Structure 1
Amino acid sequence: MIAAVTRHMNDDHLDDSLLIARAFGYPDATESTMVGLDANAGIWRVTDAAGVHDLRVEWPGAPISDRPQIRRQVVELYKLACEKLGVPARDEHEPAADPHGAHGHGAHGHGADNPHAANPHAANPNAGDAGESDGPKPFSRVVRESSWSDHSSSEGASFMENIMRGIASKQDYVDLVAQHFFMYEALEEAGEQLAGNPAYEALHPEALLRLGTLKVDLEHLLGADWRNEIRPVPATAAYAARIREVAAEEWVAGIIAHHYTRYLGDLSGGQIIAKRVARQHGFDGPGIEFYDFEALGDLKAFKETYRDGLDALGETLDADEQQRMVDEVRAAYAFNTAVFVDLAAQKSAA
Structure 2
Amino acid sequence: MSEFDASVVAAVTGHMNGDHPEDNLLIARAFGAPDARESTMVGLDGAAGVWRVVDPAGERELRVEWPGGPVSERADIRREIVALYRASCERLGVTPREEHQAAPSGDAAHGASHPHGGGGHPHGGGHPQAADDGSFSGELRRATWGDHGASEHATFMEDVMHGRGTRDDYAAMVAQHYFMYLALEEAAAGFAEDPAYAVFHPAALIRLPALEADLEHLMGADWRERIAPVPAVAAYADRIRAVAAEGWKAGVLAHHYTRYLGDLSGGQMIARVMVQQHEFDAAGVAFYDFTELGDLREFKERYRDALDAVGAGLDSAERQRVVDEVREAYRFNTETFIDLDKARAAAAA
The TM-score normalised by the length of structure 2 is 0.86
Alignment of 1:135-146 (within 5 A): 137-146=134-143
How big is the shift at 1:151? 6.1
Count of aligned positions? 324
Contact map agreement 1:42 1:58 (CA 8 A) in 2: yes
Q: Whole-Å Cα distance in 2 between the matches of residues 180 and 35 of structure 1?
A: 20
- Which of 4, 8, 15 lines up with 2:11 in the alignment? 4
- Which of 271, 274, 296 lines up with 2:271 in the alignment? 274
Q: Whole-Å Cα distance in 2 between the matches of residues 213 and 46 of structure 1?
A: 26
Q: Match for residue 127 of structure 2? A: 105
How big is the shift at 1:154? 5.2
How big is the shift at 1:179? 1.0
How big is the shift at 1:10? 2.3
Kindly indicate whether residue 46 of structure 2 is the aligned counterpart of residue 24 of structure 1: no
- Which of 240, 243, 254 lines up with 1:257 in the alignment? 254
Q: Match for residue 292 of structure 2? A: 295
Contact map agreement 2:15 2:141 (CA 8 A) in 1: no
The one-character-per-residue Cα deviations of 1:104-130 (angstroms, maximum 9, x if unpaired) are: 116564xxxxxxxxxxxxxxxxxxxxx
* Alpha-carbon distance change, 200 to 280 in structure 1, aligned in 2, over 3 angstroms: same
Q: Whole-Å Cα distance in 1 between the matches of residues 121 and 316 of structure 2?
A: 33
Alignment of 1:98-137 (within 5 A): 98-99=121-122, 101-105=123-127, 107=129, 109=131, 137=134
- Which of 84, 92, 101 lines up with 1:85 in the alignment? 92
Alignment of 1:270-349 (within 5 A): 270-349=267-346
Q: Match for residue 5 of structure 2? A: none
The one-character-per-residue Cα deviations of 1:211-264 (angstroms, maximum 9, x if unpaired) are: 111111111111122211211112212211111111111111111111111111
Percent of aligned positions that are identical: 59
Q: Whole-Å Cα distance in 1 between the matches of residues 278 and 128 of structure 2?
A: 33
The TM-score normalised by the length of structure 1 is 0.85
- Which of 201, 205, 209 lines up with 1:204 in the alignment? 201
Contact map agreement 1:3 1:157 (CA 8 A) in 2: no
Contact map agreement 2:39 2:53 (CA 8 A) in 1: yes
Contact map agreement 2:255 2:325 (CA 8 A) in 1: yes
Contact map agreement 2:184 2:237 (CA 8 A) in 1: yes
Q: Whole-Å Cα distance in 2 between the matches of residues 254 and 204 of structure 1?
A: 15
* Alpha-carbon distance change, 300 to 138 in structure 1, aligned in 2, over 3 angstroms: same
Alignment of 1:41-56 (within 5 A): 41-56=48-63
* RMSD after superposition: 2.1
Q: Whole-Å Cα distance in 2 between the matches of residues 190 and 6 of structure 1?
A: 27
The one-character-per-residue Cα deviations of 1:170-213 (angstroms, maximum 9, x if unpaired) are: 11110111111111111111111101212211111000110111
Q: Match for residue 37 of structure 1? A: 44
Q: Match for residue 116 of structure 1? A: none
* Alpha-carbon distance change, 213 to 271 in structure 1, aligned in 2, over 3 angstroms: same
- Which of 119, 133, 143 lines up with 1:96 in the alignment? 119
Aligned partner of residue 200 in structure 1, secondary structure: helix
- Mind listing any 5+ residue stretches in structure 1 that lack a counterpart? 110-131
Q: Match for residue 104 of structure 2? A: none
How big is the shift at 1:152? 6.9
